Amino acid sequence: MRIRIVDAFTDRPFAGNPAGVLLLDAFPDDGLLQRVALEVNHAETAFAHRLPEGGDADWALRWFTPVTEVALCGHATLATAHVLHTTGAHEGPVRFATRGGVLVATPDAADGSITLDFPTAPLTPAEAPAGLAEALGTEPRAVLDTGPDVGDLLVEVADEKTVRALAPDHKALAAHSTRGVIATARAEDPARGYDFVSRCFFPNVGIDEDPVTGSAHTALAPYWSERLGRATLTGLQASPRSGLVRVEARGDRTLLTGHAVTVIEGDLLTW
């Protein structure tokens, strides 16, 4: 069984968000998928298999963190689409059947990027839970719930420097949302090539800090689009690995565009 490690939302190796990708003939037992994801030990491992022609989707796709299956994942979807196109397993736009609905990934032959068509997260203003400021390490300017599929609190903080300096209490953060917390602020200098910054902390799915999170940008895109007055923006996720996500807010859909690089390819010897 071939297994690949792909760095997503980056055009260079050892940056962005790494994901394991396995193309299968069918999904085996869930326990086996979970054990493989734990062995890979990246934020997500993606498992995909081809579907019969003539249906609503081309491939079935599931994502597992080292501890649980998740309902939506952007970077592992981008990584899977990258593997399909670079190996010749699929040409052109690919439709994935997932727990989050049918997701479409469209390659751009001109620049090598891939655009994901994802559902926009429904944002609902929320009161800051007691203890959130202490757990995060700063006072929130605004707090929003991102809905059941994303499962985070979106928290705007004072400025980009505050986002970059965060050193949260991950155990304490786990009490405040289903998956975790997205911390964000407007870019200090848009001339650097991005409009907003974020960091994502997901202790409830075994990921203290996710390097670059596509699903979080389905909440960040509408949030910053409204505030900055533009539908098309670029977000920098300012984790130690860092990565850029181009976003376009289209009402109930959000487009996420990025690059990916395969860094490891080998055989899974036990299956």
pLDDT at 42: 95
Can 44 be counted among the known catalytic residues?
yes
From the candidates 44, 156, 160, 209, give the one annotated as an active-site residue.
Answer: 44
**Percent of the chain having pLDDT more than 70?**
100
pLDDT of residue 1: 87
**Residue-wise pLDDT tens digits, 194-252:** 999 999 999 999 999 999 999 999 999 999 999 999 999 999 999 999 999 999 999 99
pLDDT digits (tens, 9 = 90+) for 33-83: 999 999 999 999 999 999 999 999 999 999 999 999 999 999 999 999 999
Please state, in angstroms and rounded to a whole number, the distance separating the CA atoms of residues 38 and 21. Answer: 13
What pLDDT is stored for residue 95 in this prediction?
98
* pLDDT per position as a tens digit, 81-137: 999 999 999 999 999 999 999 999 999 989 999 999 999 999 999 999 999 999 999
Query: Residue 87 has what pLDDT?
Result: 97
Q: Tell me what pLDDT residue 69 has.
A: 96
Q: What is the structure's pLDDT at 33?
A: 97
| pLDDT score, position 177 | 87
